[in-house]
Structure 1
Amino acid sequence: MGMEVDSMGRSGGLAFLWKKGVMCTFRSVSVHHMDFVVAVDEGEWRVTGFYGWPVVSDRHLSWELLRELRVSNGDFPWMCIGDFNEILFATEMKGGNRPQWQMNNFREAIDDCGIRDVAFEGYDFTYDNGQEEPDNRQSRIERAMGNERWFDMFPRARLIHMDREWSDHSHIKVILQPRPDRDVRGGKVFRFEQIWVGEEGCEEAIRKAWASGTGDLPDTLTDCAKELVEWKGIGIGKIVRDIHSKRRRLKCLNEGGRSARAINERKQIVKDIASLLKQEEIFWRQRSRALWLKEGDKNTKYFHQKEGQRKKKNHIAKLIDDDGREHNGTVAVAAVAKEYRPERR
């Protein structure tokens, strides 16, 4: 479910989305803000998505709107998040200079509203103009701020500056209730992946295993799986590791200098990440069996959910052997499956 406001040319554009079952009550909207009340276990709180005026001469309108939103807030816990197109301090900009009066006007507005920053993690700046040095400009113009009642409700909340990829802006994400670190799960069951079809070496690995097999189908399939794992790695795990590796390098480039070489390398890595994400999409499409997905969708979380539903269905409760006897239970079913011999032609 959601609501959107169209962009103004290449600037602006707002969208507010929420999961089914989450209670969101609409309050107000304009081309520069979207305002909702969200009901959660902790109680109701207000969230405002904000887009500040990009032209400096109009920037005072941003602060007038922010103050109006504060007046209409009443006693609600309130968080305001978005692109304010302004910084609070000179240290929030790299390259160039910001007039002190611009920053003062922003500071006065948030003081009048009684809100303060949500502590962030990640790179210091959320915007990069993509130019080579010495013309490169970076700044922290995206942020999230809350009033004291909101911080009382979410005392451990933090803001994440996501690593910038295709856009000149970084995504930002608020974590309301950070989870403790969890242990990584162990090994996974082998599965043949559709994305391997057509790749060099795949057919040869299968032929090698099949030719050296003993004739026993389960053993031959096990040998085939071993050959494919040795050839390609561990399926989706390798794709995910490659994505993480590329993004770690991208993070270094985002936070480093802006030489022509670094900018060109960054462009190539962004293309590599796009290719890997496409492979990940194909992987989960195969797993979910939801083949009606439109090309280009990146909603892999949806596929994870569909895969989970499929696993619930793909359970063999019983098997009937060649003599017509019914076998129940994991061990008995596995024994019948292992003894099965397809007719040779």
Structure 2
Amino acid sequence: MIEKKLVRIELEEGNRLLPKVYLEPKVFQDLCMPWKDAVVVKLLGKNLGYNTMKERLQKVWKLQGGFDIMDNDNGFYMVKFDQAADKEKVITGGPWLIFDRCLAVSHWSPEFASPNAKVERTVVWVRFPGLNLVYYDESFLMAMATAIGRPIKVDINTLKVERGRFARVCVEVDLTVPVVGKIWVNGHWYKVQYEGLRIICTNCGCYGHLGRNCPTTTAVSEAPAQQQHQHNSGHSNGQSSQQNSNLSQAQSIHIAQNGKIVNAGAQNNNSRRHLKEVIRKYNPIFLAILETHVPYARLSSFWTTNGYTPVHIVEANGHSGGIWLLKQAATTFIATVTDSNQYSITFSVNHGDALSHCTCVYASPNPTLRNNFWDYLVHISQTIVGPWMLIGDFNETLLPSDQRGGIFHHVRASRFAQLMDHCGLLDLTTTGGRFTWHRNNNGIRILSKKLDRGLANVEWRLAFPEAFVEILCRFHSDHNPLLLRFGGLPIIRGPRPFRFEAAWIDHNDYSALVESAWRSSNNNTITALNNVRQDSITFNHEVFGNIFKRKKHIENRLKGVQLYLERVDSLHHVLLERDLQR
């Protein structure tokens, strides 16, 4: 091409290290021809690998024909379609969401250069939470959305007035200017929320950076906490959705057995025995084990045997810390870890089309490190859209009533309250007791605190209005386990079918019972099995004692003792508690 003078090379000011390449217009047009029907896509706020991106595009787009993708720099991908109809669907059928983030889609142009390219406009779903139902009119909503950007369409559920918590309009927004955080309609201000746009500055309202990195904020200036909170509410990223209602209904069908059991160390036989009992009794879909003390590999076979598989493991640092997040191997819930560190695991939960977010917390006992972790949670809250719940050991009290004995630290509690305020979190209702952590000295309880709790944003509370946290009995730890129930109290079931209990074999009289029942069957196997079943039921009630009833009776006594010790110091009850825990 150089010999034909189709391409020439010139040096910038004669510098050999700065060559410039020029093409003849006809050559450039020929090179562009194979790409003229391509589409450029970029997932806003997250870079995905080639295989993951292609897999997700296939699931989201659901095209008739095939397509090829080519990865570019800076998170951009170029897509070529086999069918023109598929390209039209991708361009006009959005907005598209992957991992709850917006996928920007645009026609390819010859001027596209991925190292310097920026997504300046994109199509997103915009929500108006709490909008008066009288405004659920297509013409009015399209007109109102022009204040946000270029309106494209109104969500079908909004048109049918099937969902009243928010109106939903598809809008093309300009990302180079601040996004609108609220809108005034006939005497009232309404929030404006953007699905899939997670990184919105709380200072200037622009997309693409967080408040702490805002270029409009000087290094020496610091906004007052109250003003910062006003900005957060003005540009809130929170959302609640129709899909979340579906999830809430699904949970109620499952008798709210999807619990997070926390603060149960896994280092000894007593803890493992207690965990097996928790699994048998509550059948939780997700388990979060804190203060693990040992490597997960040492107990992997225990979890496999009990039907659980790891979602994410944060190993203990020496003999402190550690978070294990597990789920039932057979569950249809899909858990995707979105963030993790030494003190927390954040993951999203998909069930059908429903999506919610959860963070399992083990905050540092060190106040300085804990304050740094609060700042980290504020950052996480700015990236999460939709229902969000946090549960675990926050190592901090919120109110004076959360503590009995010792000195209440008002400054630390105020800092914790500011965290909840900045993140828009509410304290979940708890039952079963006032405190979750206790310290004894020479048999006398000297300190009790509520260090473990559940928090949730408004969207999560709207999605799961009957959810609450149950503080369970404490057996082999100084912390009480927590059980998160999504759909209220479980339904009382009828009598269970006959089950053989291995513990019967250890009783001296049981072998004779089986032998006698078998002999009385006249060599009829079916009759012999029925005799063994009936005699075993009688034996369990009259001789052995129903093992589960005995366990429940002991647990109820232990719960009563622990509730009494929350109000009164009693050496007798401390010793009784110790005996019952054995």
Alignment TM-score > 0.5, same fold: yes
**Is 1:7 aligned with 2:316?**
yes
Higher normalized strand content (fraction of residues) = 2
Judging changes above 3 Å, is the alpha-carbon distance between structure 1 residues 125 and 203 closer, same or farther for their aligned structure 2 residues? same
Judging changes above 3 Å, is the alpha-carbon distance between structure 1 residues 66 and 223 closer, same or farther for their aligned structure 2 residues? closer
Deviations 1:6-32 (A, max 9, x none): 123443211222344322222111101
Q: TM-score, normalised by structure 2?
A: 0.42
| Alignment-derived partner of residue 263 in structure 1 | 574
Mapped contact 2:444–2:571 kept (Cα < 8 A): no
Alignment of structure 1 residues 27-46 onto 2, 5 Å: 27-41=338-352, 43-46=354-357
Deviations 1:133-188 (A, max 9, x none): 75521111111111111112112211111111111111112112236634x32474
RMSD over aligned Cα, in angstroms?
Answer: 2.9
Deviations 1:104-138 (A, max 9, x none): 11111110111111111111111111335755211
Please report how far the alpha carbon of residue 62 of structure 1 lies from its aligned counterpart in structure 2 after TM superposition.
2.7
| Alignment-derived partner of residue 400 in structure 2 | 90
| Alignment-derived partner of residue 510 in structure 2 | 202
Amino acid at match of 1:246: I
Higher normalized helix content (fraction of residues) = 1
**Larger mean Cα displacement after TM superposition, 139-148 or 22-31:** 22-31
**Is 1:108 aligned with 2:418?**
yes
Q: 2:379 aligns with which of 59, 65, 68?
A: 68
Deviations 1:258-317 (A, max 9, x none): 54433333233222xxxxxxxxxxxxxxxxxxxxxxxxxxxxxxxxxxxxxxxxxxxxxx
Q: 2:468 aligns with which of 142, 146, 158?
A: 158
Q: 1:245 aligns with which of 534, 545, 553?
A: 553
Q: TM-score, normalised by structure 1?
A: 0.68
**Larger mean Cα displacement after TM superposition, 171-180 or 44-53:** 171-180
CA distance in 1, matches of 2:467, 2:353: 13
Amino acid at match of 2:564: G
Judging changes above 3 Å, is the alpha-carbon distance between structure 1 residues 49 and 194 closer, same or farther for their aligned structure 2 residues? closer
Please report how far the alpha carbon of residue 235 of structure 1 lies from its aligned counterpart in structure 2 after TM superposition.
10
Please report how far the alpha carbon of residue 210 of structure 1 lies from its aligned counterpart in structure 2 after TM superposition.
6.7
| Alignment-derived partner of residue 16 in structure 1 | 325
Matched residue pairs, number? Answer: 267
| Alignment-derived partner of residue 254 in structure 1 | 562
Bigger Rg, which one: 2
Q: 2:369 aligns with which of 53, 58, 61?
A: 58
Amino acid at match of 2:346: D
Please report how far the alpha carbon of residue 59 of structure 1 lies from its aligned counterpart in structure 2 after TM superposition.
3.0
Q: 1:119 aligns with which of 423, 429, 436?
A: 429
Please report how far the alpha carbon of residue 63 of structure 1 lies from its aligned counterpart in structure 2 after TM superposition.
1.7
Q: 1:147 aligns with which of 444, 453, 457?
A: 457
* DSSP 3-state at the match of 2:558: helix
Deviations 1:33-66 (A, max 9, x none): 1111111246211111112120234332232122
Judging changes above 3 Å, is the alpha-carbon distance between structure 1 residues 201 and 108 closer, same or farther for their aligned structure 2 residues? same
Mapped contact 1:193–1:235 kept (Cα < 8 A): no
Mapped contact 2:344–2:361 kept (Cα < 8 A): yes
Judging changes above 3 Å, is the alpha-carbon distance between structure 1 residues 242 and 233 closer, same or farther for their aligned structure 2 residues? same
Judging changes above 3 Å, is the alpha-carbon distance between structure 1 residues 187 and 252 closer, same or farther for their aligned structure 2 residues? closer
Alignment of structure 1 residues 119-138 onto 2, 5 Å: 119-131=429-441, 135-138=445-448
CA distance in 1, matches of 2:365, 2:344: 14
**Is 1:80 aligned with 2:80?**
no
Mapped contact 1:132–1:260 kept (Cα < 8 A): no
Q: Which runs of 5+ in 1 are unaligned?
A: 272-345
Amino acid at match of 1:60: N
Judging changes above 3 Å, is the alpha-carbon distance between structure 1 residues 202 and 147 closer, same or farther for their aligned structure 2 residues? same
**Is 1:185 aligned with 2:494?**
yes
Identity across the alignment (%): 22
CA distance in 2, matches of 1:44, 1:207: 56
Judging changes above 3 Å, is the alpha-carbon distance between structure 1 residues 236 and 36 closer, same or farther for their aligned structure 2 residues? farther
CA distance in 2, matches of 1:31, 1:207: 57
Amino acid at match of 1:22: F
Amino acid at match of 2:403: M
CA distance in 2, matches of 1:208, 1:83: 54
Judging changes above 3 Å, is the alpha-carbon distance between structure 1 residues 248 and 76 closer, same or farther for their aligned structure 2 residues? same
Amino acid at match of 2:451: I
